[in-house]
Amino acid sequence: MKSRQNQAAGELHRAIEQIGALSDLLRAAAGSMGSMQERLDRAEARASRVDELEGELRRLSNEVHTDQLTQVANRRGLIQAFGIEQAKAEREATRVALALLDIDNFKKLNDTLGHQTGDEALKYLASTVRLALRQQDTLARYGGEEFVVLMPDTPIEEAQQALTRLQRQLTEQFFMHEEHKVFVTFSAGVTLF
């Protein structure tokens, strides 16, 4: 009987040792899981920061290529868009129509109704033209009251017709400044690249 008791005591002692070892393993695993969770939290925080920085970079890039007043491409945006369209035209053996639009009597408008009204005229022209263009066309503010339109893969006759339609559309519309109807018109020229 004593041998059975010794045997049972030995088994109990081994079981206690195994439970102790298992307990040590569980504590180590819990510590490791905590460490892994901390690393995961830090990685998620870094990923979130990277996303935030990428968004900021996109916003700044957009600002660098966009005219803040009219919200169309600025000169930098125009140069970038032209580079893309030029490469595409050369690759596909097509042409790009380039149109220069200049608002008529803009200085007189500014002098008579003020610079704020001049700014409104620029925004009005930009929004009207942008809505009338095709999706693949690019409108850019070149300077002051001058705008450039890039029309990829467009014969010169179609580009001229598009400009004529825009001129007619603008003569049929106006915006109000105080109690004055303000008509915005432009002169334009077009060429092929």
Annotated catalytic residue within 145, 158, 172, 178: 145
For this structure, is 145 an active site residue? yes
- Among the residues of the chain, which ranges form H helices? 2-65, 75-92, 106-113, 115-132, 156-171
Q: How far apart are CA 40 and CA 43, in angstroms?
A: 5
Rounded to 5 degrees, φ, ψ at 98 are: -120, 125
- Retrieve residue 119's tokens: 């700014």
- Token pair 């105080």 is found at 178
On whether the CB atoms of residues 177 and 171 are closer than 8 A, the answer is no
Residue numbers annotated as active site: 145
